[in-house]
Amino acid sequence: MGESSISTPLDFNKIVKDVEKTLSKYPLCDHCLGRLFAKYGVGLSNRERGFSLKTMLGFKLHDDYSSKRIGEDRLYALAENSGEPLTRMLQKLFTQNVSPRKCFICGGRISDEWLDSLAEAVYEKLREASVTRFVIGVRLSRKLREKELSLIAEAGFTRAESLKNEVKREVGKRVMIKYGLMPDFEKPEATAIVKLDEDLNHKVELVITPVLLKGVYNKRGRNISHVPWFTKQGGRKYPLSIQEYLESRLTIPFKAKKVKIHAAGREDVDARTLGPGRPLVIEIVEPLVRSYDIGNINELIRSDLVEVRVSEPASRRDIELLKQTSRERRKVYRLLVISPTPVSETQLNELEAFFRNVSIQQRTPIRILARKKDVLRVRKVYEVRTRLVTSTSFEALVYCDGGLYVKELVHCDQGRTNPCFASILNTELKPVELDVLYIEH
Ligand SMILES: [Zn+2]
């Protein structure tokens, strides 16, 4: 209730006039009329509310008619759009039967029995998936939504409840009372989505809440992708992916449909990820088993090649944060670089001296142009340390912003990355090994 309703007493004349105005335009059943005035009263169903409003309208119309302020036509029109108790009143006054028109919104389908049948359909779905804590979602067809909007817009009612909300509330209540399952808005095991078409035929879909786990991973080997990667011919490009590895370990114990991973960025497939690892969230999709022990999970997924360590449960928000912050996380890379001509210690010292807090301009690398838009990206290199391995190869540690294409920093990508190692050393360079050593957490 707004502040105005505290200071001003309820204006019943106004309410009855609004009911009359609405019913002179739209035929409405008790449920659908009551829903337009849902903010009035407490502990009432919309059906009770609607019937009461029609009764009040009956008082007014009877008085208007008796005092000759309105004629028979007006009474008939309103009775046709209202049904009971106005039709009964006309029966009494003129011994004439009026057949009421079908409700503009629901065609007369909404009833306690109809809500019961929805609750039963929801319960069946929840039972099949052994769900005890649920929430209900409602999706109305576009036409139904438009009808409801046109009615509410016309009536200008700020006191209305939406059909969606009524169905959600009434069905949820019934599932709880009749079947003993608990609505849980914080941590539901599943969302039962009731879909209603224009004729209010229903379909129930169950969306099982995924289990989300927060952790980090290390890739101790090369040529391991995040997700399975296939060639155009349908063959495998790489033998192993982190996602498939986790799927092979977690699908069965969780009785899940599949496993997805969400990581804070991703390294090149041929790069290893060493050091403290890269943050990720594991999403167990449609699990039928929902209780777990983190220690047991870590035992299940233990491996030398793909090392994942789960620390705690995660939320959807954690996934968003991972994506948002991946660019902000600074990195340390290790590269093994070879050159066709000898490289000296002095040259490497010059390289280190040059790449101190330098902004690097990079156009999208040629190797990924087919997949990504050609844009200019500016990232910073904070520090480079080098070590000569042989006269034609050296190791480099690069401390830089997230999102820097570090291989291109070495070989220049035909001038698309600037400045770069090759231009400073004035020779062609080839990065042959890449490791991620550190990702800011
Ligand atoms: Zn209706």
List, for residues 363-402, the tens digit of each pLDDT value.
999 999 988 999 999 999 999 999 999 999 999 999 999 9
Predicted pLDDT of residue 231: 84
User: Percentage of residues in the chain with pLDDT exceeding 70?
Assistant: 98
| CB within 8 Å of 216: residues ≥ 6 apart | 276, 277, 278, 279, 280, 308, 309, 311, 441
Mean pLDDT of 244-248: 95
| Model pLDDT for residues 184-233, shown as the tens digit of each residue | 998 899 999 999 999 999 999 999 999 999 999 999 999 999 998 888 88
How many angstroms separate the CA atoms of 296 and 158, rounded?
53
User: Percentage of residues in the chain with pLDDT exceeding 90?
Assistant: 78
Predicted pLDDT of residue 313: 94
Predicted pLDDT of residue 107: 93
How many angstroms separate the CA atoms of 284 and 209, rounded?
9
198 CA from centroid of ligand 1 (Å) = 12
Tokens read off for 369 = 């142009």
Active site residue 18: no
CATH 3.30.70.2510 in the chain: give the residue spans. Answer: 211-325
314 CA from centroid of ligand 1 (Å) = 42
How many angstroms separate the CA atoms of 362 and 377, rounded?
5
How many angstroms separate the CA atoms of 431 and 406, rounded?
9
Q: How many CA atoms lie within 13 A of 194 on its CB side?
A: 30
Mean pLDDT of 270-282: 94
78 CA from centroid of ligand 1 (Å) = 16
Extract the annotated binding site for substrate: 333, 405
Q: From the options 3.20.20.150, 3.30.70.3190, 3.30.1330.10, 1.10.760.10, give the CATH code of 331-439.
A: 3.30.70.3190
CATH 3.30.2130.30 in the chain: give the residue spans. Answer: 112-208
pLDDT category of residue 1 using cuts at 50, 70 and 90: very low
Predicted pLDDT of residue 50: 95
How many angstroms separate the CA atoms of 289 and 436, rounded?
35
Q: Tell me which residue of 215, 219, 237 sits closest to 228, measured CA to CA.
A: 237
Extract the annotated binding site: 333, 405
Predicted pLDDT of residue 2: 47
At residue 169, φ and ψ (nearest 5 deg) are -65, -50
Question: What is the overall mean pLDDT for the chain?
Answer: 92
102 CA from centroid of ligand 1 (Å) = 8
103 CA from centroid of ligand 1 (Å) = 5
pLDDT higher than 80, residue 5: no
Mean pLDDT of 320-326: 86
pLDDT higher than 60, residue 144: yes
Mean pLDDT of 324-335: 88
| Model pLDDT for residues 34-56, shown as the tens digit of each residue | 999 998 888 898 999 999 999 99
pLDDT higher than 90, residue 288: no
Mean pLDDT of 154-174: 88
Residue type, 116: D
**Domain at 211-325: CATH code:** 3.30.70.2510
**Which one from 116, 184, 197, 268 is the annotated catalytic residue?**
268
Q: Was domain 112-208 assigned CATH 3.30.2130.30?
A: yes
Are 240 and 284 contacting, i.e. CB atoms less than 8 angstroms apart?
no
HEC-encoded secondary structure of 168-182: HHHHHHHHHHHHCCE
Orientation of helix 72-82 relative to helix 12-25, angle to 10°? 80
Q: Which of 160-169, 233-242, 317-326 has the highest mean pLDDT?
A: 160-169
- First-residue to last-residue Cα distance in the chain: 47
Predicted pLDDT of residue 30: 95
How many angstroms separate the CA atoms of 392 and 388, rounded?
8
DSSP structure string for 340-395: SS---HHHHHHHHHH-SSEEEEEEPPGGGTTTS---EEEEEEEEEEEEEEETTEEE
CATH 3.30.70.3190 in the chain: give the residue spans. Answer: 331-439
Predicted pLDDT of residue 6: 59
Residue type, 364: T
Distances (CA, A) of 133 to 175, 182, 207, 303: 11, 5, 12, 35
Question: Who has greater pLDDT, 103 or 155?
Answer: 103
Q: Tell me which residue of 326, 434, 415, 348 sits closest to 376, measured CA to CA.
A: 415
Predicted pLDDT of residue 4: 52
